[in-house]
Amino acid sequence: MFLINCPYCGERDQSEFSCGGEAHIERPKQPTELSDDQWAEYLFMRKNVKGIQFERWNHIHGCRKWFNVARDTSNDKIHAVYKMGERPPIK
């Protein structure tokens, strides 16, 4: 159980949050223009890195806000928390 620093509420236990998978995958603005392969890339392909992964998290049992987290999957260290629409502050 790690701690997540919700940008709206502050530090809370992980059990208050739910993870929404990889961050920065924008829904295509014009899906109908895409080929099957392009659409499949958006729909199905996700990274699973050992190291820093950018993830979407939702403070589902709190303020219900979505935000982004840069988490090291090898040790659960959180290197950055930043709001939706912002670019990652680290690489």
Partner 1 sequence: MSKNLRINKNKFIDQTARILFKFNGKKLYGHKGDTLASALLANNIHLVGRSFKYHRPRGIMTCGSEEPNAIVQIGNDPALTDPNVRATEIELYDGLEAFSQNCWPSVNFDIGGINNFLSPLLPAGFYYKTFMWPASFWEKYEFFIRHSAGLGKSPNKPDLDLYDHQYAHCDVLVIGGGISGILSAKLSAEKGLNTILVDDKNNLGGSTLYQDDNAFKINNENSNIWLNKQIEDLKKLPNLTIKKRTSVAAFHAYNYLLARENLTDHLSLHERKNKIRQRLWKIRAKKVVIATGAIERPLIFSNNDRPGIILSSSIKKYIDYYGVKTGENVSLFTNNDSAYEAAISLNKSGVKVKVIIDIRENPNSVLTEKIEKAGIKILKGYTVIDTNGYKRIKSFDVKKLSKDGGSVVGEKITYTCDCLGISGGWTPMVHLFTQSGGKLKFRNSDNVFIPDENKIPSEQISVGSSNGDFELDDVVNNTIKSIMVFLKLDKSNYEQLNIECSKEKQKRNIWLLPSDKPMSKTKPFLDFQNDSTAKDVKLALREGFKSIEHVKRYTTTGMGTDQGKLSNMHALGIIADTTGTNMGELGTTTFRPPYTPLTFGAIVGRNVGEFFDHTRRTAIHNWHVENKAEFENVGQWKRPWYFPKNGETMNQAVQRESKAARESAGILDASTLGKIDLQGEDASEFLNRVYTNAWSKLAIGKCRYGLMLNEDGMVYDDGVTTRLGENHYIMTTTTGGAANVLTKLEDYLQTEWPDLNVYLTSVTDQYSTMSICGPNSKKIIKKIIPNLDLSDDNFPHMSFKNSKIDNVNCRIMRISFTGEHSYEINVQSNFALNVWEKCMEAGKEFNITPYGTETMHLLRAEKGFIITGQDTDGTLTPSDLQMDWIIGKKKYDFIGKRSLYRSDTIREDRKQFIGLLTDDPKEVLEEGAQLVESLEKPIEMLGHVTSSYFSPNLNKSIALAVVKSGKKLKGKKLIVPMENKNINVTITDTVFYDKENKRLNA
* 61 contacts: CB under 8 Å, gap ≥ 6: 15, 16, 17
Question: What backbone torsions phi and psi does residue 67 show, to the nearest 5 degrees?
Answer: -155, 175
9 contributes a contact to Zn ion by CB under 5 A: yes
d(C-alpha 45, C-alpha 42), whole Å: 6
- Closest contact distance (angstroms) between CB of 69 and partner 1 is 14
Q: Which one of 47, 48, 85, 90 is in contact with partner 1 (CB under 8 A)?
A: 85
58 contributes a contact to partner 1 by CB under 8 A: yes
Helices (H), the chain: 36-44
Site for partner 1 in 7-36 (CB under 8 A): 13, 20, 26-28, 30-32, 34, 36
Instruction: Enumerate binding residues for partner 1 (CB under 8 A).
Output: 1-3, 13, 20, 26-28, 30-32, 34, 36, 39-40, 43, 56, 58, 60, 64-66, 75-76, 84-85
